[in-house]
Amino acid sequence: MQIHENFSLKPLNTFAIAAKARFFASFSSVEELQSLLNTKYFLDGNQPIILGGGSNILFTKDVDGFVLKNDLRGISVVAEDDVFYYVKAAAGEVWHQLVEYCLQHNYAGLENLSLIPGNVGASPMQNIGAYGVEIKDVFHELEALHVKEHYLRTFTLTECAFGYRESIFKKTLKNQFIILNVTFKLRKAPVFNTSYGAIEQELNKMRVTTLSIQHIAQAVIQIRQSKLPDPKVMGNAGSFFKNPTISAASFVSLQQLWPTIPFYEVPQQLYKIPAAWLIEQCGFKGYRKGDAGCNPLQPLVLVNYGAASGAEIIALSQMIIDAVQNRFGIVLEREVNIL
């Protein structure tokens, strides 16, 4: 366990922002984490910033504090019943590698979440989702460490209070716990989910006749690769904004002005509008200012073409928010965590 000073975070965030941490250390065991939290820096009451895969974070300045990188590893089946395997994964595991592990062993449920960047620990925090599936649909429990009092606590599905890209760890318990591992409830007999987005169309192009979770995963991967930039090539954090939800009355008014507006009906008589469509209608698809830009294939993704600062990315996002609000009366909410 080594503590570094003035440590570059550029290779540790997918936006490739050139920020530095005043102090930095990584931990690969709970004991190492507890030792770090017992150092004088944290005993003085300071809060750490926990870094996983760095795929849902935007640094707008240097971190005048302590960044801890979660390098906990391990995947195992901890229980099973007639219907489910219970698969526990350490928070530092790469998310897509967990998906691949489950595909290899025919544990069904994560296939629609293929190729999402980031680590396992962020998955319940964000309630990540794609192509009709969210973490809450496959979640069993997680274990976390209290930052100040250092006790372990297990959180159930209900206790996590999952919402759309939300959980209790982004609200009431923000910065209070460090997620150590997550246990997923994965089916022995798959229940296929192919109705969302272009999955069925992609499966037809693949000429799939006998459906499997492996086929769905491959379709999702091909769709994502066709329209989302690889963070290793172009800095980005995936979807930058949440898809907004509006009331039925607001939707009717908008549909009268824009009859082709796309939408998804959601519970409680609400309508979800694709943020990408709103952004494109405001002329930002492919927009670039300096090295900060809006992806030309998927306008929901903001990109760093090379040397953009976090401040430039956030300024571009505010331009988009203002434009969408002025034109549609809808306020976009950032999905990415801003530091």
Residue ranges, comma separated, of all CATH 3.30.465.10 domains in the chain are 75-187
Q: How much is the average pLDDT of 221-231? A: 88
Residue-by-residue DSSP string for 100-134: HHHHHTT-BS-GGGTT--SBTTHHHHHT-EETTEE
CATH 3.30.43.10 residue spans of the chain: 4-70
Q: Which one, of 160, 143, 31, 45, lies nearest residue 91 by Cα?
A: 143
Q: Which amino acid is at 58?
A: L
User: Residue 131 in contact with residue 197, Cβ under 8 Å?
Assistant: yes
265 is annotated as an active-site residue: no
* Cα 261 to Cα 272: distance, rounded to the nearest angstrom: 11
What pLDDT was estimated at residue 265? Answer: 80
Q: CA 201, CA 208: separation in Å to the nearest integer?
A: 11
Mean pLDDT of the chain: 92
Q: What is the mean pLDDT of residues 276-297?
A: 94
pLDDT for 168: 94
Q: What does the DSSP 8-state code read for residue 26?
A: E
Catalytic annotation present for 312: no
Query: Structure tokens of 142?
Result: 């997680």
Of 296, 265, 264, 266, residue with least CA distance to 279 = 296
Cβ atoms 257, 278 nearer than 8 A? no
d(CA 69, CA 48): 10
User: Is the model's pLDDT at 230 over the cut of 90?
Assistant: no
Q: Which of the residues 26, 165, 224, 317 is marked catalytic?
A: 165
Examine the pLDDT at 267 and tell me if it is beyond 90.
no
What pLDDT score does 319 carry? 96
Is the pLDDT assigned to residue 197 strictly greater than 70?
no
Residue with tokens 């169309």: 201
Phi, psi of 310 (to 5 degrees): -60, -35
Residues in contact with 109: Cβ distance below 8 Å, sequence separation at least 6, in sequence order: 102, 133, 137, 138, 184, 185, 186, 187, 190
Residues 91-111 have pLDDT tens digits of 999 999 999 999 999 999 999
Distances (CA, A) of 101 to 77, 95, 130: 11, 10, 19
Residue 9: per-residue pLDDT: 95
User: Residue 165: what pLDDT?
Assistant: 85
Place 323 in a pLDDT band, splitting at 50, 70 and 90. very high
* Distant-in-sequence, close-in-space partners of 270: CB < 8 Å, separation ≥ 6: 245, 246, 247, 248
Tell me the C-alpha distance between 23 and 6, whole Å. Answer: 6
Enter the CATH code of domain 235-338: 3.90.78.10
Please confirm, yes or no, whether 335 is among the known catalytic residues.
Answer: yes
* pLDDT, mean of residues 306-325: 94
Question: Is the model's pLDDT at 44 over the cut of 80?
Answer: no
Q: Which residues pair with 155 in a beta bridge?
A: 142
Nearest to 133 by CA among 210, 197, 78, 225: 197
CA dihedral 224, 226, 230, 234 (to 10 degrees): -130
Q: 75-187: which CATH topology?
A: 3.30.465
Task: Look at residue 45 and tell me whether its pLDDT is greater than 80.
Answer: no
- 247-285: burial string, b at 16+ Cβ within 10 Å, e else: eeebbeebeeeeeebeeeeeeeeebbbbbbbbbbbbebb
- Give the residue range(s) of CATH 3.90.78.10 domains in the chain: 235-338
| Catalytic position from the list 134, 141, 312, 335 | 335
Residue 74 confidence (pLDDT): 96
Question: Can you give the pLDDT at residue 244?
Answer: 93
Name the more confident of 43 and 210. 210
| Percent of the chain scoring above 70 in pLDDT | 99
User: For residue 66, what are its two tokens?
Assistant: 């302590």
From the candidates 55, 114, 167, 239, give the one annotated as an active-site residue. 239
Which architecture characterizes domain 4-70 according to CATH?
2-Layer Sandwich (3.30)
User: CA dist 77 to 51, 191, 290, 327, Å?
Assistant: 26, 20, 48, 50
Please say if the pLDDT value at position 336 is more than 80. yes
